């Protein structure tokens, strides 16, 4: 567990507020309309991080990884009411310094936080090398 002012960061998923995480993610462009069960399933199969002020969750992120070569940082957010305090920087730093993630190559996508991630050594990649395959089923249907 890491601490910053009166905030703590933990990977203890028993503390996470699944309903809060879902309510935030479902409003974001990359997860719009995502089902609660999909959020839960994704969290359970990732190394997830929560930011707390006391017992209230104010941030979330998850890392999809093999713990050796590759890590994808996903679903990162800090509640709007808690931004502007340096918490995002501390959150990303804590995730990147996790002991089990020291040998991985990091990937992420972002629409608006390029400057935050550049501070930690992230840079844009050659889009001609990046490929994407859409799933056969929509994620909300895949868990049924």
**Which residues, 6 or more positions from 136, have their beta carbon under 8 angstroms from its beta carbon?**
none
Question: What CATH number does the domain containing 28 carry?
Answer: 3.40.630.30
Look over the chain and give the mean of its residue pLDDT values, rounded to a whole number. Answer: 91
User: Which among 97, 86, 139 has a CA at the least distance from the CA of 121?
Assistant: 97
pLDDT tens digits, 104-118: 999 999 988 999 999
Q: Looking at the whole model, is its pTM more than 0.95? A: no
Look at residue 106 in the predicted model and tell me its pLDDT. 97
Phi-psi region of 62 (alpha: psi -120 to 50; beta: other; left: phi over 0): beta
Number of folded domains that form the chain: 1
Look at residue 59 in the predicted model and tell me its pLDDT. 98
3-state secondary structure of 87: helix
Domain that holds residue 57: 2-142
**Which residues, 6 or more positions from 35, have their beta carbon under 8 angstroms from its beta carbon?**
139, 140, 143
Split at pLDDT 50, 70, 90, the class of 139 is: low
Split at pLDDT 50, 70, 90, the class of 46 is: very high
pLDDT tens digits, 73-95: 999 999 999 999 999 999 999 99
């Amino acid at each position: 567990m890491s601490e910053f002012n009166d905030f703590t960061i933990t990977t203890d998923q028993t503390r996470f507020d699944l309903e809060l995480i879902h309510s935030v993610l479902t409003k974001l462009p990359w997860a719009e309309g995502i089902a609660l069960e999909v959020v839960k399933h994704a969290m359970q199969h990732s190394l997830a991080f929560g930011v707390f002020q006391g017992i209230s969750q104010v941030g979330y992120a998850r890392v999809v990884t093999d713990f050796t070569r590759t890590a994808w940082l996903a679903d990162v957010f800090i509640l709007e009411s808690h931004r502007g305090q340096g918490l995002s920087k501390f959150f990303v730093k804590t995730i990147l310094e996790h002991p089990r993630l020291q040998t991985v190559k990091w990937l992420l996508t972002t629409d608006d936080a390029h400057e935050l991630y550049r501070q930690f050594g992230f840079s844009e990649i050659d889009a001609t090398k990046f490929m994407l395959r859409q799933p056969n089923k929509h994620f909300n249907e895949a868990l049924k």
